[in-house]
Each structure stands twice: as structure tokens, then as C-alpha cells.
Amino acid sequence: MRRDILLWPHPVLKQQAAPIARVDDAVRALIDDLFETMYGAEGVGLAANQVGVPQRVLVLDTTSRQPELRPLAMVNPVIVSAEGETVYAEGCLSLPGEVEDVERAAVVTVRYLDEQGHAQTLRCEGLLSIAVQHELDHLDGIVFVDHVSVLKRELIRRRMKRLQASRELRVGT
Ligand SMILES: [Zn+2]
């Protein structure tokens, strides 16, 4: 089921997401919804709190740029090591139309549970590295605009307020 993506600065996007105790069918159903919602919005990553579920689950698909990889679902992901630095112009499904340069680690190694509940360790490079750091930030209540200057963030806040207002008008609420 495709879910609605919350727009920043919705309070759930600023919340620390809770760890998953057990990867069960409910978690797998959430993962399915996250994939469907991400693909519907043409994103490369989505965190559960972006659809209003403050739990530590995220999905990623960077295969359009990294065909050697496959789509990934991560439960309780943790970055265990990071190397180098890179700057990438990031966007976010919770901030449509906004793009800002963000400095990240170039390569990260992530430990997580897959959709079967098995522990995995994955070294992430390129777009996958950027995307996993971006989505992990979401689980900690951080969005990419928290990495830019206060001035830029305030301009974005104003644009998002206008976008939110126009959406509410459109659905007639
Ligand atoms: Zn995002």
C-alpha cells in the first residue's frame, strides 16, 4: 500500500525512531509499503518516519545509478565505520523541489537486519553511501536541511510552508 509522505517540518520527522524488537510480518508489510511509496515518488531511499511510523526501518534503491547493486531494506541500521569525505547535491521526498549540497562520509560500512531478520554488514559507496547516511539521519530525526546554514534553512522553511498550504487547498481540507 502506498502511503502519504510527510512534509518537513512535520514533528514525526524530528523524532528519534525506535528500534525494532523482532523482524516479523508486520515489519515486512511496512517494508513493502516503503518500497511502493518510494517507487511511486521516484525516490532512491525512504525512512519509516517519513510515512509517520517512527521505527528504525529504511529502504534504498540506487540501482538506476549503481546497476551492480540491488534494492535494500534495513532494520535497525548502524554505521560501524566511515571513511573519507564527499559533497553531494541532495534532495528529499519530504522536501519536494529542495536541493542542497551536503557533506558526508564517502564510504560507510553499515550493520543491519535484513527483511528475514538476519544480521548483515555492507560496505556502501557512491550514491548508496550518500543515500544510507541520509536515510539513517531521518531515523535520528535529522533531515538534510539540518546540515545547511540557518539562513538557507529559513528560506526553505518558508517555501515548504507555501507548498503545504497549496497542498491543503488542493485536497480541500
Ligand atoms: Zn529524506
* pTM for this predicted structure: 0.95
Q: What does the pLDDT look like over 116-134, one tens digit per residue?
A: 999 999 999 999 999 999 9
CA of 88 to the centre of ligand 1 (A): 14
pLDDT recorded at residue 169:
81
Q: Give the Cα separation of 58 and 110 in Å (integer).
A: 12
pLDDT computed for residue 172 by the predictor? 64
Cα 47 to ligand 1 centre (Å)? 7
Say how far apart CA 61 and CA 44 lie, in whole Å.
Answer: 5
Angle, CA 116 vertex, CA 106 and CA 3 arms, to 5°: 75
Active-site residue, 135 included: yes
C-alpha cell at 131: 543515500
Give me the residue label for grid cell 541500521: 77
pLDDT tens string 123-170: 999 999 999 999 999 999 999 999 999 999 999 999 999 999 988 887
Q: How far is the CA of 126 from the centre of ligand 1 (A)?
A: 17
* Closest CA relative to residue 136, chosen from 28, 49, 12: 49
Among residues 100, 135, 154, 168, the one annotated as catalytic is 135
What's the 93 CA to ligand 1 centre distance in angstroms?
6
The pLDDT of residue 86 is 98
